[in-house]
Amino acid sequence: MFKNVFGSGFLVRTAHVILTWVITLVLFLYDTDLRRHEESGQLAQPVLFVLLVLVSVLLYFAVSLMDPGFVMSEEGEGKFGLGITEETQDMIPHTSKTFRQRRCGHCLVQQPMRAKHCQACQHCVRRYDHHCPWIENCVGERNHRWFVLYLAVQLVVLLWGLQVAWSGFTPAPGWQQWLSRNGVLLAASSLLALFSMVVLLLLGSHLYLISLNTTTWEFMSRHRISYLKHCGADENPFDRGTLRNLWAFFCVWGSVVWEQMYFTEGSDSV
């Protein structure tokens, strides 16, 4: 399930963990709300904050090391490695739509619909969304919901950390004195604000695309994707409405035969 922790992303993951805990330590070393609660014996908020930071780090490693949905070789996966099995083919109604299965030119596996080969991971990934350099892993069918959960928890931690950092600034008679007192806290606050904006944009864009049942790759490259480029600009054969899309993404587990959804009669009018 998990890849080698000492793989190509080891330095990135190490930098993430070090930066996370260094900023957390800074928030406790300065006279912030967390420090004041700790000194007064009110440990609920400090403990909750540290636990939330720990959860965000664990989610980061889970998403980073998890199999995103690699398409295995046909020999190793048998009929489940194919996009359409013989049994599934009989379930697909005949429509005006056409789709020709592709064999990946890099790893030579037969790609299911919505799969794409990742040059960085050197694997085809089911329901490929994108390759994220910060987690050094693809975001795909198996880890996409965990990636969104990680973004949500990380955003809460960052915003809370920003509020804590803001509470620790102390006044001074001049700019030089103020910077000498608050320089490190200002640097931490700047990083927290920057990361908060990035994570907020990422989370918002992913929730929007999930509500449409589309991926980042499909949204950005639909004019080059064989099963989408013939659809109209506003057509999405996988869209079943916002609520059903969100429910299917967050609450339905297991692989989906996208070919069956693509070829259903109801999707012709989408």
Give the span between the Cα atoms of 131 and 222, in whole angstroms. 17
The residues that bridge with 72 in the sheet, in sequence order, are none
Residue type for 94, please?
Answer: H
Q: Compute the 3-state secondary structure of the chain and give helix, strand, coil in percent, each to the nearest 5.
A: 55, 5, 35
Residue 178 tokens, joined: 């103020």
Residue listed under structure tokens 């904006």: 197
Among candidate residues 139, 129, 125, 147, the one with its CA nearest the CA of residue 217: 129
In this structure, the number of other CB atoms found within 10 A of the CB of residue 201 comes to 11
CA dihedral over 151, 219, 134, 166, signed as positive or negative: negative
Give the span between the Cα atoms of 92 and 18, in whole angstroms. 51
Residue 258's SS3 state is helix
In this structure, the number of other CB atoms found within 10 A of the CB of residue 252 comes to 10
* Active-site residue (options: 118, 121, 124, 132): 132
Give the span between the Cα atoms of 262 and 270, in whole angstroms. 10
Give the span between the Cα atoms of 133 and 105, in whole angstroms. 24
Residue 254 tokens, joined: 């297991």
Residue listed under structure tokens 């990361």: 195
For residue 160, report the phi and psi dihedrals to the nearest 5 degrees.
-65, -45
State yes or no: is 132 an active-site residue.
yes
Q: Which residues are catalytically annotated? A: 132
